[in-house]
Structure formats: structure tokens, C-alpha cells
């Protein structure tokens, strides 16, 4: 069977209506709601077809219809025009004022949650290039030195290293030069054993320290991998009865609290280098099992120099896709602009 123009209009009407009410919608409603001027009986026939084709389902006989995942998918794919929404609030937002990255991201998450009434998450940007830009050893104590590593993108990592031997200023200076000469501009993978042994040799009696320092550096950069995720508005799900029953709510809340699972969502997006756009997962399409009753919309934002993060909005399947997509576009754009202004 083909999807006639009229069928599409009816499907659209059903989905719109369901998005608002959250209740199954019947033929009579559609007959009055649209400007098609068709009787409910005709609508019924069409709906029967649509159901057969899998775009809508009946929760039980003699109930109205609700969109299936497939129906939502069609809606999202074909009918979502690119609306340039005004988001006054967002535009005059606190973005500009915040300077600490983590605060900023928390703010964004909160803002989105309040604005959309859905649950939100945002992952801190990950550094794709982890090239060492600069290294610095300093003596903090007689037997402790501080190693500071700055990697491309001005991300800073600290590590305190215990040393058995006391190092004087001159030695420290030499080590600093040695390390910087050898390691600057390199990524972790590029540091190989022969370089390490070369450095050790040059360090002479302090070769132990060199080994410790390199270990510390490796750990610092590696630690970056488990990414930070900020969430907000998890309790918004209680606003949607279809998600608010105990079992589902508990699952979703848990996923939000133990952010571990959310990283899958992020990985999924970041893995795909090309996907800078917006992605919509409906129901079972989601990579996170506990969210199979939700829809998830994600957007990738970029802060230059290969730093990319993901923003996600999680809500019921009858999410206002239009608004969410618009909001996400604005936000990612703002983040981009913000970054440019700062550099």
C-alpha cells in the first residue's frame, strides 16, 4: 500500500494530537480537528490502513490510536521543518558570564531542563588530540614533586609524585628541559620505549624520577577518557504519566544518577566523526535499554581544536520534537560562538 497525501495528513494529525494530550486519539477527533472535511468513518478506514502499515497502534480494541515508533520516525524524518525559533531566554543567558567549564555545562543542562520540561544531559568535551603542549615539574615538598601537564586545548592535569631522593633546583630545571624537549608536541601513543630509555640515560642518576614522571603523565592523559557528564531535570519525567510509574521512573532515575550508562549514548555519537548534527532515537532505537520507553534527542557541539561533547534530551516518545531540535540548534550554536569569543 502507498502512503497517500491524505494518509500522511491524518497521521500527522494523530501525532500532533497525541503529543498534546497523551491520550489515544480517535477518528472523530481527527475528523473535527483537521481541515480535511472528512467524516469519522472515512478517517476510520484510513486509520485502519495506517495501523496495518504499522504507523499507529491501538493500546486495546476500541481505544483510539497512538503513534508507533515507526510513526514517530516518519514524523520526525519528513515533517519536521527547520523552524528558527526565538529563544529569547537562551540568548540573553548566563552563558557569557560563566567561565569555569564545569559550571557552564551544569548551567546549560539546567537551562535546557527548565526550558523544555524534559530531562537533560551534557557531556564535557573530550579532547581528541591529546598532544602534550607543555610540561612542568615543581618541588612542593622535600619528597614530593608536582607534575603539571598541559595538553592541546589548554586542558591541565596535575599529579603529585612522591620521590625518594631530594632534588635540588638545578636538577629540577634540567629535568624540565629534558622532558619538554623530548615530549612536547607528542601524543601519548607516540611516546615509545626507546625515547623513554634515551631520556633515562640523559637523566643519569635521576632516571627513576623520569620513569615516575612519565607514568604520571600517561595516567593524567588517560584519565581524561572517562568523561564527565552533567544532568538536570531528571524529575521532569514525573510530568509524563506514561513514564511516571514506579518501575520505569526508578530505572530512568537510576540511569541518570549512575551516569555510566549515559556514556554509551555519548560514545555512540562521538564515534561517528561526521555526525555533527542532531540525532533522534525513538523508543527502541536508543542504545540505552532502560530508555526504551523514551525518546532521546542528541546534539554534538564543538569547541574547536577537536574538543567535542554531546547534549542529550530525554523525554517521552510524545516529545515536542520541533521545539527540542530548535532549542538544541540554538544551544550548540551559542556554545560555538562563546568559544570563538573567548579565543
Partner DNA sequence: GTTAGCACTCCACCTACGCGAGTGCTAACA
Partner DNA sequence: TGTTAGCACTCGCGTAGGTGGAGTGCTAAC
Question: Least CB distance from residue 244 to DNA, whole Å?
Answer: 14
- E strand map for the chain: 56-57, 66-67, 119-123, 126-127, 132-141, 144-151, 155-162, 229-232, 278-282, 294-302, 307-316
Any residues with CB less than 8 A from the CB of 270 and at least 6 apart, and which? Answer: 126, 300, 308, 310
Return the range that interacts with its own copies (CB under 8 A); candidates 14-22, 55-63, 70-78, 247-255: 247-255
d(CA 287, CA 281) in angstroms, rounded, equals 8
Q: State yes or no: residue 9 binds DNA (CB under 7 A).
A: no
Any residues with CB less than 8 A from the CB of 324 and at least 6 apart, and which? Answer: 116, 118, 297, 313, 315
The strand pair at 294-302 and 307-316 is best described as: antiparallel
Question: Least CB distance from residue 342 to its own copies, whole Å?
Answer: 10
Please work out the total of residues on this chain that contact DNA, with binding judged by CB under 7 A: 25
Instruction: Between 251 and 302, name the residue whose CB sits nearer to its own copies.
Output: 251
Q: State yes or no: residue 286 binds DNA (CB under 7 A).
A: no
* Binder among 63, 94, 142, 160 for its own copies (CB under 8 A): 160
For the chain, state the CA radius of gyration.
27
* Binder among 7, 73, 128, 133 for its own copies (CB under 8 A): 133
C-alpha pair distances (Å), 35 with each of 13, 91, 240, 264, 271: 10, 36, 29, 44, 45
Q: State yes or no: residue 156 binds its own copies (CB under 8 A).
A: yes
Return the range that interacts with DNA (CB under 7 A); candidates 59-67, 98-106, 149-157, 246-254: 59-67
d(CA 209, CA 301) in angstroms, rounded, equals 40
x/- map, 223-242, DNA, by CB under 7 A:
--------------------
Q: What residues does 310 pair with on adjacent strands?
A: 300
Question: Least CB distance from residue 78 to DNA, whole Å?
Answer: 22
Q: Which of residues 19-58 bind DNA (CB under 7 A)?
A: 23-29, 37-42, 44-45, 47-48, 51, 58
The item of DNA, its own copies, none sharing an interface with residue 21, based on CB under 5 to 8 Å by kind, is none
d(CA 286, CA 73) in angstroms, rounded, equals 13
* Binder among 45, 244, 289, 337 for its own copies (CB under 8 A): 244
Question: Least CB distance from residue 48 to DNA, whole Å?
Answer: 4
Instruction: Between 65 and 157, name the residue whose CB sits nearer to its own copies.
Output: 157
Asked if 64 and 25 count as a contact pair (C-beta separation under 8 A), the reply is: yes
What residues make contact with DNA under the rule CB under 7 A?
23-29, 37-42, 44-45, 47-48, 51, 58, 60-65
Amino acid at each position: 500500500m502507498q502512503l497517500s497525501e491524505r494518509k500522511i495528513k491524518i497521521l500527522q494529525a494523530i501525532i500532533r494530537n497525541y503529543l498534546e494530550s497523551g491520550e489515544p486519539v480517535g477518528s472523530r477527533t481527527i475528523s473535527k480537528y483537521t481541515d480535511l472535511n472528512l467524516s469519522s468513518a472515512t478517517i476510520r478506514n484510513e486509520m485502519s490502513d495506517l495501523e496495518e502499515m504499522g504507523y499507529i497502534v491501538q493500546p486495546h480494541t476500541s481505544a483510539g490510536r497512538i503513534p508507533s515508533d515507526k510513526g514517530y520516525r516518519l514524523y520526525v524524518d519528513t515533517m519536521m521543518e527547520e523552524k528558527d525559533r526565538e529563544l529569547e531566554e537562551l540568548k540573553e543567558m548566563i552563558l557569557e558570564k560563566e567561565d569555569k567549564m564545569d559550571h557552564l555545562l551544569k548551567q546549560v543542562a539546567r537551562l535546557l531542563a527548565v526550558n523544555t520540561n524534559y530531562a537533560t544531559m551534557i557531556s564535557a568535551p573530550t579532547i581528541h588530540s591529546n598532544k602534550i603542549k607543555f610540561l612542568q615539574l615543581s618541588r612542593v615538598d622535600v619528597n614530593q614533586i608536582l607534575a603539571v601537564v598541559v595538553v592541546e586545548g589548554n586542558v591541565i592535569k596535575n599529579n603529585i609524585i612522591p620521590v625518594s631522593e631530594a632534588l635540588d633546583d638545578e636538577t629540577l630545571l634540567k629535568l624540565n628541559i629534558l622532558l619538554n624537549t623530548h615530549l612536547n608536541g607528542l601524543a601519548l601513543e607516540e611516546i615509545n620505549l626507546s625515547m623513554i630509555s634515551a631520556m633515562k640515560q640523559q637523566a643519569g642518576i635521576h632516571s627513576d624520577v623520569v620513569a615516575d614522571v612519565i607514568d604520571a603523565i600517561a595516567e593524567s592523559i588517560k584519565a581524561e577518557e572517562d568523561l564527565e557528564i552533567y544532568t538536570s531535570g531528571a524529575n521532569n519525567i514525573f510530568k509524563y504519566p506514561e513514564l511516571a510509574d514506579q518501575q520505569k521512573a526508578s530505572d530512568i532515575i537510576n540511569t541518570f544518577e549512575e551516569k555510566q550508562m549515559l556514556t554509551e549514548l555519548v560514545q555512540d555519537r562521538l564515534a561517528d566523526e561526521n555526525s555533527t548534527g542532531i540525532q533522534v532515537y525513538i523508543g527502541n532505537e536508543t542504545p540505552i535499554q532502560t530508555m526504551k520507553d523514551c525518546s532521546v534527542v542528541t546534539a554534538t557541539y564543538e569547541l574547536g581544536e577537536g574538543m567535542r561533547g554531546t547534549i542529550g534530551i530525554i523525554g517521552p516518545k510524545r516529545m515536542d520534537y520541533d521545539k527540542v531540535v530548535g532549542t538544541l540548534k540554538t544551544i550548540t550554536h551559542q556554545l560555538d560562538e562563546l568559544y570563538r569569543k573567548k579565543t
